Structure 1
Amino acid sequence: MPIRQFQAQRMHAPRDFQMISPDPICVEIGAGKGKHALLFSGQNPEKKLVAIERTREKCLAMHKQHVLEGQANLQPIHADAMPWIVHALNPAQVQQFFILYPNPEPHNPAQRWLNMPFFEFLLSRLQVGGTITLASNIAEYIAEAEQKLIEVWKLPFVKEVIAETSARTHFEIKYLQRGELCQQLIITKPEGYRTRFDDFMPLQGQSAAQQIALTAAPEKAE
């Protein structure tokens, strides 16, 4: 099944965008009020986590709690994840992505993460052996993601039932207290996996002609 080309060169940088260090990092997309981000950065002081949240109020709540707890290895970011990732991240820079309880987009399935052409770009930013953790309380969402991983993205993964005692996010706590089944997919990028964006550098400092040239001759993702 052909994968439609993601138009990275059309992405404008988020407002007040600032570049980050090219060092290896972990990235949480849709971090909310930061419960998981604060927990993960506290438990993994050797890893740097960038926690991206689009909603201003939630990001402010995360920032406020971060100031109180003071993890030096956590960087909250108020931005839309897609343009921020395109402009900020280098190829194979990310050790782990976390996408915990994303909007299931019931009326627009094309906007689900593994259905979007952008997912190929996301994979290009992941290190070999790096992982993407995708969690949901919706069985159909997980089942569809499994199908896409097998048929389209051709990636190895493990499906896990999330323990009833887990409390990584406010949504997770609420769903588990209701007795809902919460599951996650741990997706791994194997050695030799290729995308059409493996040599695509952040757009900052590139001319429009250079950006277009990088996406002019796509190859099929293997």
Structure 2
Amino acid sequence: MPIRQFQAQRMHAPREFKTISQSPICVEIGAGKGKHALLFSGQHPQYHLIAIERTREKFLAMQKQHAIEGQPNLTPVHADALPWVVHALYPQQVQHFFILYPNPEPHNPAQRWLNMPFFEFLISRLQTGGTITLASNIPSYIDEAEEQLKTVWKLPFERQVIAQDSARTHFEVKYLERGELCQQLVMTKPEGYTTRFDAFQPLQGQNATQAASADQTEA
């Protein structure tokens, strides 16, 4: 399906937004209660992971567990991922993105990750050689995403079956215990890959008002 261009400059900063440094990071989108975030940061001290969760109850659960475990290389963030990414991340800053068991949006296919114009912006934040991991228990979701990778985004990828003993998220544990097939697409950004947002710098909150004013003037 055709993808229109994402209007990054129209994104308002999340409430209580805080800027981040330009150093390399990993980002998990929709981190839930933080099971994967806590595991990953504990197992990979060489990476700094920012785990974003929009739902307040889930975010507080992740924050509470992080306070107990105390991984210094994990930063939980309570925000909607799209405006946070636009305001916070620099071009080619992210080493790995994780999108594990997102809402399949059964009634709104345009909101699935690889169908959204925002996905081009997400790729622009990824380092050359960096990866995006998208996991789902719904075969048709993975099938559609694979088709989009081939025809629209043209990213190299591997389609993998997730091991029965994997336990990265609460959803993953539940689905595998029920005997469902869980799969993931691991996409890699190749050398020379370009997007229309490669020069787009993060809005960083303080520019949100200016961007909104500019949109109104243009309108």
Calculate the TM-score normalised by the size of structure 2: 0.94
C-alpha distance in structure 1 between counterparts of 2:95 and 2:214, whole Å: 25
**Contact 1:9–1:211 (CA<8 Å) still a contact in 2?**
no
Query: 2:36 aligns to what SS in structure 1?
Result: helix
State the 1:2 CA deviation.
5.1
Match of 2:146 in 1: 146
Does structure 1 residue 17 correspond to structure 2 residue 20? no
Alpha-carbon displacement from aligned partner over 1:5-56 (angstroms, at most 9, x marks no partner): 1000100000000001110000000000000000000000110000000000
Query: 2:174 aligns to what SS in structure 1?
Result: helix
**Contact 1:203–1:211 (CA<8 Å) still a contact in 2?**
no
Match of 1:173 in 2: 173
- Residue 211 of structure 2 is aligned with which of 204, 208, 214? 208
C-alpha distance in structure 2 between counterparts of 1:21 and 1:9, whole Å: 20
C-alpha distance in structure 2 between counterparts of 1:210 and 1:53, whole Å: 29
C-alpha distance in structure 2 between counterparts of 1:201 and 1:4, whole Å: 20
Aligned counterparts, 1:1-222, within 5 A: 3-204=3-204, 205-206=206-207, 207-208=210-211
Match of 1:215 in 2: none
C-alpha distance in structure 1 between counterparts of 2:168 and 2:211, whole Å: 41
C-alpha distance in structure 2 between counterparts of 1:11 and 1:110, whole Å: 18
State the 1:3 CA deviation.
3.3
**Residue identity matched to 2:176:** L
The alignment of Structure 1 onto Structure 2 pairs a total of residues equal to 212
C-alpha distance in structure 1 between counterparts of 2:212 and 2:59, whole Å: 35
C-alpha distance in structure 1 between counterparts of 2:194 and 2:175, whole Å: 36
List runs of 5+ in structure 2 lacking aligned partners: none
List runs of 5+ in structure 1 lacking aligned partners: 213-222
C-alpha distance in structure 1 between counterparts of 2:14 and 2:142, whole Å: 30
The structure, 1 or 2, with the larger RCO (C-alpha pairs under 8 Å, 6+ apart) is 2
State the 1:159 CA deviation.
0.3
Query: 1:149 aligns to what SS in structure 2?
Result: helix
Identity %: 77
Alpha-carbon displacement from aligned partner over 1:139-187 (angstroms, at most 9, x marks no partner): 0000000000000000100000000000000000000000000000000
C-alpha distance in structure 2 between counterparts of 1:186 and 1:203, whole Å: 28
State the 1:208 CA deviation.
3.2
**Residue identity matched to 1:208:** A
C-alpha distance in structure 1 between counterparts of 2:74 and 2:87, whole Å: 19
C-alpha distance in structure 2 between counterparts of 1:136 and 1:84, whole Å: 23
**Residue identity matched to 1:37:** A
C-alpha distance in structure 2 between counterparts of 1:132 and 1:48, whole Å: 16
**Contact 2:10–2:212 (CA<8 Å) still a contact in 1?**
no
In angstroms, what is the RMSD of aligned CA positions?
1.5
C-alpha distance in structure 1 between counterparts of 2:173 and 2:42, whole Å: 19
**Contact 2:34–2:62 (CA<8 Å) still a contact in 1?**
yes
State the 1:209 CA deviation.
9.3
Q: Quickly say closer, same or farther: Cα 1:128–1:211, change in 2 above 3 A.
A: farther
